[in-house]
């Protein structure tokens, strides 16, 4: 859609401020001073490719069809121009709607809108299932500027007439391919039909299959197409280092980083972050926990950078926390570990990062903290680098304490082997004259453990089910049956005959049936069940098996080891606005 006087479009790139202190990269895109100041405060140093290519056409009022994977910075690519647009529109009516596939992503995107739009005082509301609808209705009545929603909950509000879309200026479909895989195609069409024809539309997807192209043809007008291609990485280009990833939810990432570093005890590690703000915050946290850490980013002067690098090369600091921009061109010969606090924005960035360890024949290790929704990006990195990245659980408090004691035992053995203990014998002999020698030694170990933070209160970090914990591969659907096609193929008609591709050999091993007390009469569709299970139980939709639907109830095949969690999660939520019975189904009930 072209910008016109009736569309509250924003300033053209030609009017962008070039004030001193602003990042020249972001200022050149046409963003206004308030947003540039926010980016400077947050420590963003330069735009990513999707931001450079996507922000200008969105500011100009054009529709956009963007192909970019998770972790490439696409949230900022649509959020920043969206905020600039909303700031010039009438307030307290939804001017922007962002549709996302999952509850977790809805929360993350709404947090990003709040973070970037803080100075603009933009009111944002996240709408998703699994939370009471009453407070959502109340917030909508009070008035909001930006709504971030999952398709099912957005459609629920539209039908209740609690979400009005007549004032919308822009709609964003984020991770459109995943929304289609979860069965939301009909919901997306129904929602977009309720929006003004004059709206601006942006669609982002990691892949561009025919289904996405079909949606783009129906709902986008002469869109600017942006594709962020990944640079090819030759097989074997990734260094031969031991690569692991720890699966952790966003609220626990800082604690997980501290836990992993305490377990690894690296001698010289590079910790990579996306922004200056993260670098500064993590450096302060790590120093507070007894590490020797220094920050390096674009906000440091050259003398400061030289001092930090000299200290790191000399072994005076063990952790160098850096942004990718600041780390470019650094010559660091001895790095034992590379730690990715954030999943890199592109596969080639990952290769460049981990290439800083394992040099000159030395062993190296690369560690990445991965949020659940970023596992697909890690699989892309694996495919590109032709290497396996082991995804494992964050160590427990018991693991940490055992590791500390193991290290202490090794240190004591070294001291015993070295000898030269005469001046300490008098203390030990005086104590063993009164106490048991083993108790005396245990007290000494306890004292040493305390001096190294062994008595610091440590909270457990919730375990997250990851790729290695999912159902066996034999229980998964073949790759050609995914998303709506698979669910359509696996549903049955009223007479119980399969609709579409028949299952091969019945239900897969390791699967059980879950009874859901709602069916076609209640308006429930297979996509509703898949979306509810994936969102509420926090599992990958790909592990869900066949779905049988009748007028009164539905049966869903799920991995046996996930069944209890799915039943508990669905029992706490509503399906099509109503509480339903959910329990394990036994085959004998069919008799």
The per-residue pLDDT for 200 is 96
555 near 490, Cβ under 8 Å? no
- Examine the domain organization and report whether 298 and 445 are in the same domain: no
Q: Is 287 helix (H, G, I), strand (E, B) or coil?
A: helix
The strand ranges marked E within 206-241 are 224-227
What's the pLDDT score for residue 81?
96
- CB-CB neighbours of 333 under 10 Å: 10
Per the domain annotation, does 461 fall within a domain? Answer: no
Token duo for residue 384? 């590109």
Contact 154/97 with Cβ under 8 angstroms?
Answer: yes
Based on the fold, state whether residues 268 and 206 are members of the same structural domain.
no
Whether the Cβ atoms of residue 22 and residue 16 lie closer than 8 Å to each other: no
**Alpha carbon 577 to its chain's center:** 28
- Rounded to whole angstroms, the maximal C-alpha distance in the chain is 93
424, 492: one domain:
no
Answer yes or no: is 462 within a domain.
no
Nearest residue to 296 (alpha-carbon basis) of 273, 267, 268: 273
Closest CA to 97 of 108, 110, 115, 107: 110
Cα separation, 541 vs 476, whole angstroms: 10
pLDDT score of 20: 43
Cβ neighbours, 10 Å, residue 108:
18
Q: Look up the CATH number of the domain holding residue 513.
A: 3.30.70.330
128 plus 247 within the same structural domain: no
Domain boundary among 166, 196, 227: 227
Same domain membership, residue 348 and residue 215: no
Task: Give me the pLDDT at residue 492, please.
Answer: 38
Residues 430 and 389 grouped into a single domain: no
In a domain, 7, yes or no: no
Q: What is the pLDDT of residue 504?
A: 32
Give the CATH number for residue 384.
Answer: 3.40.50.300
Do 199 and 291 have their domain in common?
no
**Is residue 458 in a domain?**
no
- The answer to whether 123 and 145 are in contact (CB under 8 A) is yes
Query: How far apart are the C-alpha atoms of 381 and 384, rounded to whole Å?
Result: 5
Strands 200-205 and 124-127: unpaired
Residue 339 sits in the same domain as residue 323 = yes
pLDDT, position 454? 64
* Residue 584 resides in a domain: yes
Say if 81 falls within a structural domain.
yes
Q: Are residues 59 and 38 in the same domain?
A: yes
Say if residue 29 is in the same domain as residue 106: yes
CB neighbour list of residue 216: distance below 8 Å, 6 or more residues apart: 65, 203, 223
Provide the number of structural domains found in the chain: 4
What is the DSSP-derived secondary structure letter of residue 125?
Answer: E
Report residue 481: phi and psi, to 5°: -110, 95
- List the pLDDT tens digit at each of the 591 positions of the chain: 334 434 444 433 333 444 444 445 888 999 999 999 998 888 787 888 899 999 999 999 999 999 986 667 888 999 999 999 998 887 778 999 999 988 778 888 998 899 899 889 899 999 988 778 889 999 999 999 999 999 999 999 999 999 999 999 999 999 898 888 778 888 999 999 999 999 999 999 888 888 888 999 999 999 999 998 655 444 444 446 788 999 988 888 888 998 899 888 888 899 998 888 889 889 998 888 888 999 988 777 778 887 888 888 888 899 999 887 666 656 676 788 999 998 876 677 788 788 778 765 567 889 999 988 777 778 878 877 777 888 888 888 888 778 777 877 887 888 888 888 888 888 888 888 888 888 888 888 888 777 766 666 677 887 775 444 333 222 232 222 333 333 333 343 333 333 332 333 334 457 888 999 888 888 888 877 887 887 777 776 667 878 888 888 889 988 887 888 888 888 877 787 778 889 888 765 554
Distances in Å between the alpha carbon of 48 and those of 53, 85, 179, 237, 333? 9, 21, 24, 23, 28
What is the distance of C-alpha 427 from the center of its chain?
Answer: 54
Residue 3, pLDDT score: 40
Q: Is residue 190 one of the residues assigned to a domain?
A: yes
Give the number of residues written for the chain: 591
432 shares a domain with 513 = no
Both tokens of 457, joined, read 């209160």
DSSP string, 245-259: EEE--GGGHHHHHHH
Residue 234 domain-assigned (yes or no): no
Could you tell me if 173 and 192 are in contact, meaning their C-beta atoms sit under 8 angstroms apart? Answer: no
Domain residues for the domain of 148 are 13-227
CB contact at 8 A, 58 and 82:
yes
Judged on CB neighbours under 10 Å (0-12, 13-18, 19+), 254 is middle
Q: What share of the chain is helix, strand, coil (3-state, %, to 5)?
A: 45, 15, 40
Question: Going by C-beta distance under 8 Å and a sequence separation of 6 or more, which residues neighbour residue 80?
Answer: 31, 35, 39, 51, 55, 116
Per-residue DSSP letter, 475:
G
| 27 and 99 inside one domain | yes
Count of other CB atoms within 10 angstroms of residue 231: 10
pLDDT of residue 131: 77
């Amino acid at each position: 859609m072209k910008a016109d006087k009736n569309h509250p479009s924003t300033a053209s790139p030609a009017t962008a401020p070039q004030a001193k202190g602003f990042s020249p990269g972001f200022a050149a895109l046409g963003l206004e001073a308030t947003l540039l100041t926010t980016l400077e405060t947050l420590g963003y140093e330069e735009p990513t490719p999707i931001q450079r290519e996507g922000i200008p056409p969105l500011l100009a009022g054009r529709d956009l069809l963007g192909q970019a994977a998770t972790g490439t910075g696409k949230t900022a690519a649509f959020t920043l121009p969206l905020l600039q647009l909303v700031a010039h529109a009438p307030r307290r009516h939804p001017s922007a709607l962002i549709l996302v596939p999952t509850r977790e992503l809805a929360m993350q995107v709404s947090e990003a809108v709040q973070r970037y739009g803080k100075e603009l005082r933009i009111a944002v509301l996240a709408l998703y299932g699994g939370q009471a609808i009453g407070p959502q209705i109340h917030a909508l009545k009070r008035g909001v500027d930006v709504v971030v929603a999952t398709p099912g909950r957005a459609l629920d509000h539209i039908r209740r007439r609690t979400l009005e879309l007549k004032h919308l200026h822009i709609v964003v479909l984020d991770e459109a391919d995943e929304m289609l895989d979860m069965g939301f195609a009909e919901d997306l069409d129904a929602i977009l039909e309720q929006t003004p024809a004059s709206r601006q539309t942006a669609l982002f997807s990691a892949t561009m299959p025919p289904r996405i192209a079909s949606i783009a043809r129906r709902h986008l007008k002469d869109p600017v197409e942006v594709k962020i291609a990944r640079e090819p990485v030759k097989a074997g280009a990734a260094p031969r280092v031991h690569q692991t990833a720890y699966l952790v939810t966003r609220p626990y990432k800082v604690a997980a980083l501290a836990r992993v570093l305490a377990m690894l005890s690296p001698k010289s590690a590079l910790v990579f972050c996306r922004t200056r703000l993260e670098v500064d915050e993590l450096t302060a946290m790590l120093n507070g926990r007894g590490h020797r850490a220094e920050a390096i980013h674009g906000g440091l002067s050259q003398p400061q950078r030289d001092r930090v690098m000299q200290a790191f090369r000399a072994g005076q600091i063990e952790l160098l926390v850096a942004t990718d921009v600041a780390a470019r061109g650094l010559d660091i010969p001895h790095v034992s570990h590379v730690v990715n606090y954030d999943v890199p924005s592109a596969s080639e960035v990952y290769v460049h990062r981990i290439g800083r360890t394992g040099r000159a024949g030395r062993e190296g290790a690369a560690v990445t903290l991965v949020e659940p929704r970023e596992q697909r990006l890690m699989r892309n990195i694996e495919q590109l680098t032709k290497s396996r990245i082991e995804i494992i659980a964050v160590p427990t408090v018991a693991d940490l304490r055992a590791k500390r004691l193991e290290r202490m035992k090794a240190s004591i053995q070294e001291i015993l082997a070295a000898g030269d203990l005469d001046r300490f014998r008098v203390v030990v002999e005086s104590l063993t004259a009164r106490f048991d020698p083993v108790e005396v030694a245990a007290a000494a170990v306890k004292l040493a453990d305390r001096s190294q933070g062994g008595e610091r209160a440590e909270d457990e970090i919730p375990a997250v089910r990851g790729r290695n914990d999912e159902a066996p591969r034999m229980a998964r659907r073949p790759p050609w049956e995914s998303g709506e096609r698979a669910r359509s193929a696996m549903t049955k008609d009223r007479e119980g005959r399969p609709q579409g591709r028949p299952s091969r050999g019945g239900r897969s091993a390791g699967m059980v049936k879950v009874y859901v007390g709602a069916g076609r009469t209640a308006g429930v569709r297979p996509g509703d069940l898949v979306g509810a299970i994936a969102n509420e139980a926090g599992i990958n939709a790909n592990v869900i098996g066949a779905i049988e639907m009748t007028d009164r109830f539905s049966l869903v095949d799920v991995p046996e080891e996930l069944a209890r969690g799915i039943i508990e999660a669905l029992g706490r939520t509503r399906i099509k606005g109503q509480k339903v019975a959910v329990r394990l189904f036994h085959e004998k009930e069919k008799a």
